[in-house]
Amino acid sequence: MTMQNLWDDTIAASSVTPLALRAYTSRLIGGNKDMVLYGGGNTSLKTADTLYVKGTGADLGAVREEHFTALDLVQLRSLLNDAGMHDAELMNRVDACKLSPRSAKPSIETLLHAALPFAYVEHAHADAVLAVANVANCEERCAGVFGDLAPVVPYRHSGAALARACKEVFETRATTRTIGLILAFHGVVAFGNSARESYENLLRLVNLAEDWLQMRGAWALPETDEFASGTDRAESLRQAASSIAGFPLSLCRVSTQQTLAYARRPDIAEISQQGPPTPQHAIYTKRLPLIDGDIDVFARHYRSYLQDTLGSKLHDIDAAPRIALDPSFGLCAFGVNAHYAAVAAEIYLHDIAIISRASAHGNYRSASAKNIAQAELEYGGYEQRVRAKHSD
């Protein structure tokens, strides 16, 4: 199904400022769950020497003008052009570029937006693009689908490292036809010099991906006519996972024709154990799902993975699974409460779609275990905050 263009001339005309128009097209993007991660996606606008970027924590699907943070664009670009400044120091200096100290913390991708020479920039995590790119031959595949419309940026951690990589790829590989960038194991960036142009450039890249997958017979997701069982099994897994986590976990079970078919795939042990489509998914789903019901073995292997990738920095990460796949019930997700269990389930449904489609045209791959563990460490911790708030 082609991604629909939702631009409305009447609504656009009622947006009396460039920032209002920026907010309008941001909502068009954020309102489509196949386009952005839970709570994710970011957009920006440049006017004169100011960069307006979506603030951290604002929902892209409901964003308004006041949710954008204004920063000094000249200062941001001088930071990025300072080759002697380390990435960690760069990110620490971004906050000081805010024009109002009381405004929201800017998106972690602020420097990426500053680096690109366009008035409007969109950063999304479109499922269709990930389904094309997340294969062993990513560069070759993306060159065939997107060509010079969107060169591939090798995976870099969000923030300064990704911004530098995007800047380098744009400056060395962009042509007059280039309308975006494909971020390996991460998503897609599009840009333009008007709100409509930038929004429609993003749609063009996503639709290229969808159309290509459809032509390759890689779009329709496998389904089964068999029914689910396993309610008791899902509950027993929740109890076991809670024991490993050290606190009660809520359960969200999704037993559909697609989740049952996915859990019953003969190659599930291979495709499900590569890792998530983007490291950011692991914040809610963990790096790997449980597929055989043996939570003790899962926890032992997960601790080894954390130790191998993070060393001693393990205090905020437990070894209990957040996703379980089983032929009897399909998918169940665990979370610190019912809301986050549902979030994990929703994200993994996207993972199923991406992994299934990528596997239909190539060998599905994810980012390295080390990169995924880094995302778990740096962006995790929300469960501890939720529990602490609940205990107050």
CA 207 to chain centre: 18
In this prediction, residue 86 carries a pLDDT of 86
In a domain, 124, yes or no: yes
User: Do residues 287 and 371 lie in contact, with contact meaning Cβ atoms separated by under 8 Å?
Assistant: no
How many domains does one find in the chain?
Answer: 2
> pLDDT at position 229, please?
85
Q: How far apart are CA 368 and CA 309, in angstroms?
A: 10
| Cβ contact 31:59 at 8 Å | no
d(CA 238, CA 185): 30
Query: Do 243 and 198 belong to one domain?
Result: no
Domain end call among 180, 215, 250: 215
Co-location of 206 and 320 in the same domain: no
Q: What is the pLDDT of residues 149-208, one digit of tens each?
A: 999 999 999 999 999 999 999 999 999 999 999 999 999 999 999 999 999 999 999 999
C-alpha torsion angle, residues 301, 306, 311, 313 (rounded to 10): -140
| Residues 207 and 271 both lie in one domain | no
pLDDT in tens, 220-230: 999 999 888 87
Query: Helix, strand, coil proportions of the chain in percent (round to 5)?
Result: 50, 15, 35
Tokens of 254: 């999704």
Please count the residues of the chain: 392
**Cα–Cα nearest to 250, from 361, 339, 172, 129:** 339
Residues 182 and 245 in one domain: no
Q: Please tell me whether residues 205 and 91 are part of one structural domain.
A: yes
55 part of a folded domain: yes
Give whole-number Cα distances, 134 to 143, 236, 275, 366, in Å: 13, 34, 11, 6
Where would I find the H helices in 134-182? Answer: 138-146, 160-173
Domain boundary among 164, 181, 215: 215
- Does residue 298 lie within any of the structural domains? yes
Look at residues 146, 181, 215 and tell me which one is the last residue of a structural domain: 215
The reply to whether 25 and 60 lie within a common domain is yes
Let me know how many helices (H) and strands (E) the chain has, helices first: 17, 10
Residues 331 and 374 in one domain: yes
CA dihedral 123→104→155→291, nearest 10 degrees, is -90
Are the beta carbons of 288 and 380 closer than 8 angstroms?
no
The domain containing residue 195 runs over which residues? Answer: 9-215
The 10 Å Cβ neighbour count of residue 100 is 9
Q: Do residues 250 and 148 both lie within one domain?
A: no
Angle between helices 160-173 and 73-80 (to 10 degrees): 80
**CA–CA separation, 169 vs 151, rounded Å?**
7
Statement to judge: residues 196 and 50 lie in one domain: yes
Write the DSSP string, 249-292.
Answer: -EEEEE--HHHHHHHT-TTHHHHTTS--SSGGGHHHH-SS-B-S
* Nearest CA among 285, 374, 368 for reference residue 331: 285
CA quadruple 313, 301, 343, 23: dihedral sign: positive
Task: List, edge to edge, every strand of the sheet that includes 187-192.
Answer: 68-72, 50-54, 42-47, 120-124, 187-192, 180-183, 152-153
User: 221 in a domain, yes or no?
Assistant: no
- The answer to whether residues 30 and 133 belong to one domain is yes
Identify whether residues 259 and 146 lie together within a single domain.
Answer: no
Q: By C-alpha distance, which of 378, 388, 389 is closest to 158?
A: 378
- Residue 223 is assigned to a structural domain of this protein: no
Residue 2 in domain: no
User: In terms of Cα–Cα distance, which of 317, 376, 316, 343 is closest to 250?
Assistant: 343
Residue 164 forms part of a structural domain? yes
For position 152, which CATH number holds?
Answer: 3.40.225.10
Whether 4 is covered by a domain: the verdict is no
Neighbours of 135 (CB within 10 A): 17
Distance CA 221, CA 109 (A): 32
pTM metric for this prediction:
0.96
- Whether residue 65 is found in the same domain as residue 154: yes
Q: pLDDT tens digits for the chain (392 residues)?
A: 567 999 999 999 999 999 999 999 999 999 999 999 776 789 999 999 999 999 998 999 999 999 999 999 999 999 998 878 888 888 889 999 999 999 999 999 999 999 999 999 999 999 999 999 999 999 999 999 999 999 999 999 999 999 999 999 999 999 999 999 999 999 999 999 999 999 999 999 999 999 999 999 999 999 999 888 878 999 999 999 999 999 999 999 999 999 999 999 999 999 999 999 999 999 999 999 999 999 999 999 999 999 999 986 666 689 999 999 999 999 999 999 999 999 999 999 999 999 999 999 999 999 999 999 999 988 877 888 888 887 65
Domain with residue 329: its CATH number is 3.40.225
Q: Where are the beta strands (DSSP E) in the chain?
A: 42-47, 50-54, 68-72, 120-124, 152-153, 180-183, 187-192, 250-254, 323-326, 330-335
Which residue in this structure is represented by tokens 């490291």?
Answer: 279
